[in-house]
Amino acid sequence: MQPTTVIFDMDGLLIDSEPLWGEAAEEILARFNVRLTNEQYHQHTGLRTREFLTWWFSFFGISPDHLDTAETDLVDLVIQKVKARPKFQPGVPYILDFFKARGFKIGLASSSPMRLIDTVEDLGQFGDYFQVKTSAEYLPFGKPHPQVYLECARALGVSPLECVAFEDSFNGMIAAKAARMSCVVVPAPDQQRQLRWHAANLKLSSLANFNDLLLEAMGAPAETLKEC
């Protein structure tokens, strides 16, 4: 089935916010004398804020009584940092214009809270592109569960089989594939060589590398992973 719809992740894919999330998480966890390694932090990239904190609170034996305050403070801190240092990924204007010019329905499916999604949309002036924005914040399940992608497709009025999802995280890729969507991954440079991306249909080093020929190939099985 030829795709009619594209759904984008946000953090790390459209905006280089993962370092800012890392900084903010480090500051919040430092209150509890916890410091994560880079590897530990990236294990949970793509999860909801609550799930991220719940995991590490449990791991380090921190009382869950602090979860609500820590979650609110973490999101507030990320929003402050994003506003102070907005850095959009290479190829973002190109890829949005590419799909808009071809008449695609365009959605966004993120684990981030809607107030951060709205902040990024305003900073990037994306209001004319996204017909639907879906946050996993208040859904029963977050990524790697497919619910946020399925909900976005439902709101756009399309079958998941018509959708191409763009992701930068492993958990996001699993969510998109579990939703039965084609998936394009754009991993961080230090994760490009990892073998775990082979579940995707296509791996890019930049959003700017996508083109019509690659769009036509989106129906290919995952084992024919292409890299550009």
What are 15-33's pLDDT values in tens digits? 999 899 999 999 999 999 9
Quote the percentage of the chain above a pLDDT of 70: 97
pLDDT of residue 154 exceeding 70: yes
Q: Three-state DSSP class for 202?
A: strand
Q: Which of 9, 118, 122, 168 is catalytic?
A: 9
41 burial type by CB count under 10 A (0-12 exposed, 13-18 middle, 19+ buried): middle
36-40, 47-51, 154-158, range with greatest mean pLDDT: 154-158
pLDDT of residue 182 exceeding 90: yes
Query: Is 168:9 a contact under the CB 8 Å cutoff?
Result: yes
Whole-number pLDDT of residue 110:
97
Mean pLDDT value across residues 2-11:
96
Considering the domain 5-16+87-227, what is its CATH architecture? 3-Layer(aba) Sandwich (3.40)
Determine the straight-line distance between the first and last CA of the chain, rounded to whole angstroms: 23
Question: Between these two residues, 46 and 112, which has the higher pLDDT value?
Answer: 112
Mean pLDDT value across residues 73-78:
97
pLDDT of residue 222 exceeding 70: no
Mean pLDDT value across residues 102-126:
97
Q: Is 190 a catalytic residue?
A: no
